[in-house]
Structure 1
Amino acid sequence: MHRRSAMTALAGMTALASVLTGCGVIGGQSADLQIYSARHYDLEGAFGQFTEETGITVEFISGDDAELLERLKAEGDDTPADVFMTVDAGNLWNGARQDELAPISSTVLDEAVPDDLRDAEGRWYGLALRARTVTYNPGSVDPSEFDAVETYAGLADPKWKGRLCMRDATSAYTQSLVAGLIDLHGRERALEIVEGWVANDVAIMSNDILLLEAIDAGTCDVGINNHYYLARTLEENPDLDVDLYWASQEGAGTHVNISGAGVVKGSDNPEDAQRLIEWLATDGQNAFVDANHEFPVNPAVQPEPVIAAFGDFTRMPLNAEAYGSLNAEAVDLLAEAGYR
C-alpha cells in the first residue's frame, strides 16, 4: 500500500489515532520521510536543517514510545513510517526485539557511533547521550562526602538520611538506572541499594526540574539528575546553588542513556531514512543535541559550551539489552523496596 493510502486507511482507527500528540512537516506539505518520534526536544531545528542541506522533506509524528511501537506493529508492512526515534536504550532494544526495525549496513554510522551505543545488527543507533549523575548543594555538601567508587550505592549510607531527593518509580530514568544497577551488581545487591535510599527517607519528586529547585532551596542536599536539566536551569538562573558530581569515576563510571533511531522495517524509503540517521550522527550532531544540552554520541563532535564546562567524565558502558530486558525486574524491585 502506498504511504498516503496507508495514512487514509488509518484515519478510522481511533485507537491508534489517539497516539498522535502533534506533528509537523519540514519542507513542504507532502513529506519524503515520516518519523515516528517519542523524542520531543527541538526536532524542527535539526530536521529543518537536514531538509535545507539535502532537499529531503520530513514529517514527524510524536507520541509515547510504547504507543508508537504498538502503532508500528498494527500497521505492519503498510506503515507510513520510515524512522522510529525514541528515548531510552531499552526502548530501542525492544523495537528491534519485536522485529519492527530493519538491519542496515552503514560504514558512516559504524565509525560515528561507539559500539555499545548501537545495535550489533545495525537495527538502531544512539544519536544523543545523557548522563544521569549526582547533583548537590555546595553550601551543605563537600564532594569528598561522595563514594567515588560506587556513588549511587553510596547514597544508601545512613549519613544521607533526610538529605536525598530522587525521581519517582514510574520515571523511565529511575527504571533504567535501577536496571543498570541490577546488571552491574546483581538483583540482591541492587535491592539493598534501593532499600538504603528508602531507609534514608528519600523525597520523591515528579520531575528533574523540581528536584533541582529543591536542592537549590535546601529542601534536600543531594539528588540524581539527567545532566541536561541542570544545564537548562543554569541557563535560566546562573545563580542556581547546585553543582554536578560525576558519579563512580573510580568505579564503573557514570550511568548513561541515549535517544536514538532505526529504519522502520516497513519503510518504503529506507535509503533516505538511513541517510537521515547518518546525517544526525555526523554533520547534524550538533543541530540534534545542542539545543537540549545533550552530549554527542560521535566522539569527533564537541559538546556545546554549557555542558563542556561540566568537565570530562568516564561513562558506564551502556547495555541496551539489560535496560530493556531488566525493566520489569527493576519495576518489581522498586516496589519491593518500598520506593514510590
Structure 2
Amino acid sequence: MNTKTSILALMVAATATTAAAEGELNLYSSRHYDTDERLYSDFTEATGITINRIEGKADELIERMKAEGANSPADILLTVDTSRLERAKDAGVLQSIESDVLEARVPAYMQDEDNQWFGFSQRARIIFFDKTDVTNPPKSYVDLADPAYAGKVCHRSSSNVYSQTLLASVIANHGEEAAKGWAKGVVDNFARDPQGGDTDQLRGLVSGECDISISNTYYFARAIRKDVDGLPADARANIGWVFPAQNAEGAHMNLSGGGVAANAPNKDNAIKFMEYLASDQAQQYFSAGNDEYPAVPGVGISPSVATLGMFKPDDLDATTIANNVPAAQKIFNEVGWK
C-alpha cells in the first residue's frame, strides 16, 4: 500500500469487509462551526458509526460531564484552546488512550503528556495593523508594550482564553516578572477598554478606534474567503499583519483539540474518530472549511490561509502553556487588564 494512503481510506477498506465498526459515538463539542458538519458526515459514511452531538460552551460541557459522572454518555470532548483541554483533564473527565496513529501523526508538543488530549488544528495569534497610520508596526509581542504605541492597541478581555494562553506563553518564554511588565505596558497602550471577539479587534482597525490589534489568523482568513460583516475587501486592503517573534520563539499558536471521555461507553469508536481527525482528509478540511492550520505536518492549507504567508510557529509545549494560565490570570488582575 502506498505510504501516502490516508487513514480514512484505510478505514473505508476495513469497513468493506466487516461491520464491527458500526455503532454510535456521543460527541460533546464546543466547536461552533457549521463547516464541521462535513467532518462528521464523512466519518459516518466511511465507518458506519453514527455521531450523536451535544453542543455548548466548553466550561458548561465539562461541568455537565462531571455531574453525569460514571453515567455520562459522552465519548469525546472537542473544544478550542489548550487551557480548556487542560481544564477538562484537571476535572477528571478525560482518560489516557493508546493510539499509534495519533502518536505518529500529531506532533509531540500538541499532545498532552498523559495522552488525555490531542490538538487537531491550529490558529496563529498575530499582530494586525492599519497600514495608513502605522509605518513601523510591532515585530514581536514584546513590542506591543513599547510606549511608541500608546493609545493604539486593541485586545480582548483578560477573561478570554486566547488572552490567557498568550500571556501564559509570554511567561514561559520570558519569565513571570518580564511578562508582568509586558502586560502592564500593553494596558498602558490600550486605545479602548478590552471588548468583543477577535473579529471586533479587526473591525476596530476599520473603524479607526485602534491602529494595532491582535487576532487569530482564521478570523482574517475567513474574511478573505467570504464576506464578513464589517470587514469589506476595500477596508481589508489597508490592514497589514505581522507574524510576531520570527527571530525568536515564533508566533503563538492556539489549538483546537479533543480527548476521549473518562467514562466513554463507546471508547473504541471514540479512538477511531480521534484517529480520523488526524487523517489527511480531515486535516485538509480543517483548513478548507474553517481557515485553520492543520496540526499534522505536510498537509496542504487552503488558499485563504496561504494568503497570509509562511511563518515560524512557537512550538512551545501545549501543556507548559496550560500550566502557566493561573499565573497569567494573576498578572492580569495585578496590572488592571479588564
Structure 1: gaps of 5 or more residues: 1-29
Distance 2:41 2:327 in 1: 40
Q: What are the equivalent positions in structure 2 for 1:135-146 lying under 5 Å apart?
A: 135-142=128-135, 144-146=136-138
Alignment correspondent of 2:306: 308
Q: What is the CA deviation profile of residues 70-96 of structure 1, one whole-angstrom value per residue up to 9, with x for unaligned ones?
A: 221222221101001111112212322
Structure 1 residue 61 displacement after superposition: 0.7
Q: CA RMSD in A?
A: 1.8
Alignment correspondent of 1:41: 33
Alignment correspondent of 2:233: 238
Alignment correspondent of 2:19: none
User: AA paired with 2:33?
Assistant: Y
Q: What is the CA deviation profile of residues 9-53 of structure 1, one whole-angstrom value per residue up to 9, with x for unaligned ones?
A: xxxxxxxxxxxxxxxxxxxxx971111112112332211121122
TM-score (norm 1): 0.85
User: AA paired with 2:182?
Assistant: I
Distance 1:334 1:93 in 2: 20
**Helix, strand or coil at the partner of 1:35:** strand
Residue 81 (1) aligns with residue 78 (2):
no
Residue 109 (1) aligns with residue 98 (2):
no
**Helix, strand or coil at the partner of 1:250:** coil
Distance 1:75 1:201 in 2: 43
User: AA paired with 1:222?
Assistant: I
Once the two structures are overlaid, the 10-residue window that deviates more, 155-164 or 70-79, is 70-79
Displacement over 4 Å in runs of 4+: none
Distance 1:162 1:325 in 2: 32
Q: 1:34 to 1:288 in 2, by over 3 A?
A: farther
Structure 2: gaps of 5 or more residues: 1-21
Residue 192 (1) aligns with residue 181 (2):
yes
**Helix, strand or coil at the partner of 1:129:** strand
The answer to whether the 8 Å contact 1:90/1:322 transfers is no
Alignment correspondent of 1:177: 166
The answer to whether the 8 Å contact 2:25/2:50 transfers is yes
Distance 2:182 2:106 in 1: 32
Which of the numbers 224, 245, 251 marks the counterpart of 2:214? 224
**Helix, strand or coil at the partner of 1:257:** strand
Q: What are the equivalent positions in structure 2 for 1:1-340 lying under 5 Å apart?
A: 32-42=24-34, 43-142=36-135, 144-147=136-139, 151-203=140-192, 204-234=194-224, 235-236=226-227, 237-239=232-234, 240=236, 241-282=238-279, 283-340=281-338
The answer to whether the 8 Å contact 2:127/2:212 transfers is yes
TM-score (norm 2): 0.86
Identity score, percent: 35
Distance 2:121 2:184 in 1: 31
